[in-house]
Amino acid sequence: TQERENLTYPLFGEAVRELAQTIADDGFEPDIILSIARGGLFVAGALGYALGVKNLHVMNVEFYDGVGSTLDMPVMLPPVPNVVDLSRKKVLVADDVADTGRTLELVHDFCAGHVADVRCAVIYEKPQSLVKCEYVWKRTDRWINFPWSVQPPVVRRKGQVLDA
């Protein structure tokens, strides 16, 4: 058995189509897809096309490493979506993976009380996740390589003349 879960771009394409089909078969018709940047942007964009939803919103959530502390917690970074935009809407929260589930919990709690319905869709969910997502493509307890983050950022090559 492999020690890592390896998602390629072609497999990602199949995964989101299957995830969208599961959502459609369930009869859930979201008004808004709320993506969690950055990994969730890929999932939200693809689900938006597959479900025919054009209303996409973004939330920036990052795990904050408390200085001199072992406490890590997810924090919302600006711009934070306007809750008025979400009010009484059916919201589908999209992310790449629910690991501890704390990121999705934060977004779920942000929506709760404002929206008509909030459900979560992820490509992967791990067994320890404290949020149980309504829509999951695959369950795994392994570390996942995502195609968008498996490689480091590009660096500028030498010898390129960009300024004339």
Residue 35 interacts with ligand 5GP (CB under 6 A): yes or no:
no
- The residue type of 89 is K
d(CA 37, CA 27): 26
Which residue stretch of 20-28, 45-53, 90-98, 110-118 sits at the interface with ligand 5GP (rule: CB under 6 A)?
Answer: 90-98
- To ligand 5GP, the closest distance from the beta carbon of 158 in angstroms equals 30
Residue 6 interacts with ligand 5GP (CB under 6 A): yes or no:
no
Helical packing angle, 9-25 and 39-51, nearest 10°: 50
Residues near ligand 5GP (CB under 6 A), total = 16
Residue 59 interacts with ligand 5GP (CB under 6 A): yes or no:
no
Cis amide linkage into residue 38, ω under 30° from 0: yes
- To ligand 5GP, the closest distance from the beta carbon of 38 in angstroms equals 8
Residues 6+ positions from 110 with CB-CB distance below 8 Å? 59, 76, 80, 83
Residues 6+ positions from 153 with CB-CB distance below 8 Å? none
Binder among 95, 110, 135, 136 for ligand 5GP (CB under 6 A) = 95
Residues that bind ligand 5GP in the complex, under the rule CB under 6 A: 39, 63, 74, 95-103, 143-144, 146, 149
